[in-house]
Copies of this chain bind each other. A is one copy, B any other.
């Protein structure tokens, strides 16, 4: 048994260093300096490093002027929210959803309407009900693949229906899709962006999950007018995003290293997700969860007797870090956790869950004694 001081963290949605291709990135940076020194050194343009912008447009089959490459996809979210959300703007969010997005929308004082998730993604029938009841959202924030934190994926049928509703009720779907390429089981589903014929979708993704977070490169794809407006906001905020990082990502992609990296990440994450599911079944047989087909996260419901506010310090004491469910909802979440398996090598997962189970027992014991 490892010492409890050697903490195992299921908290951060980041890849462990062993699945980041440092040598490949180093070679890509050198190639970038050798091939395009003027554009790496210069101010650049707010829409991003032009060859990477073209590569992204090609990947998604859109016009180049529909793409804006940013300093990470959180920055893309921030620009989009600044463009579309003012106080009282009605916004649909998933329940649960990514805590940082929720905070970004709350900070802009959007009027948030949470819609629950099912095992095949957003409860679109409940959304339709709300729309029929008079709700007129401007924006719906949807994480379609391997949702953060729930791990579920929006079905093909629901994607189509959601687009129909967006057209009918005139709202924009913000398809927030950083995990698109991190599917390790089953067939990929088409993005709503690719199905959209009405300009209803703004799509965001990132290289944080497929390359690494430290290069802080994400992007938006959307209607030309909106992208142009956001490009002006970007110029006024920072002139241009990071040219060195974006040129490095571009060289990494065209060299083939990106494809290899995605393959390796998928393989490692499949092992980690399976190890986590097995460990949960072994140490916490009453816990409820869905085994994910991709992405970084697993959402686990621990039942009404577990209060995550008490569990977190007990888990920390036992040497395991998790994120409490309450961070991902406006109300509720007291009995749930988000477990990120992206950063925990498969051979450490079982020990992590064993510690978590012990921490849950500590809490129950404490309740029984007190």
Contacts and interface: CB of A to CB of B under 8 A. Distances in A.
A214 B238 contact: no
Interface in A202-258: 208, 212-216, 236-245, 248
Given A72-B238, A214-B240, A215-B243, 5 more contacts: A43-B214, A75-B237, A104-B236, A216-B239, A242-B244
B236 A107 contact: yes
A15 B40 CA distance: 12
B42 A214 contact: yes
Chain A: interface size category = 35 or more
Interface string A292-336: 000000000000000000000000000000000000000000000
A369 interface: no
B214 A44 contact: yes
* Chain A interface helix/strand/loop/mixed: helix
Interface string A332-346: 000000000000000
A248 B244 contact: yes
A100 B236 contact: yes
Nearest to A22: B37
Interface stretch (A23-31, A129-137, A139-147, A281-289): A23-31
Contact of A215 (B104, B208, B242): B242
Interface centre among A30, A43, A238 (most CB of B within 10 A): A238
A273 B326 CA distance: 60
Nearest to A78: B237
8 contacts: A14-B42, A29-B30, A29-B33, A42-B213, A72-B239, A75-B237, A216-B239, A244-B244
A367 interface: no
A267 interface: no
Interface of A: 12, 14-15, 17, 20, 22, 25-26, 29-30, 33-34, 37-44, 71-72, 74-75, 78, 100, 103-104, 107, 208, 212-216, 236-245, 248
A38 B248 CA distance: 17
Nearest to A23: B33
Nearest to A214: B243
A265 to B, nearest CB: 12
A262 B242 CA distance: 22
Contacts of A241: 71, 216
A12 B216 contact: no
A227 B100 CA distance: 21
Contacts of A74: 237-239
A238 to B, nearest CB: 4
Nearest to A25: B33
A248 B29 CA distance: 11
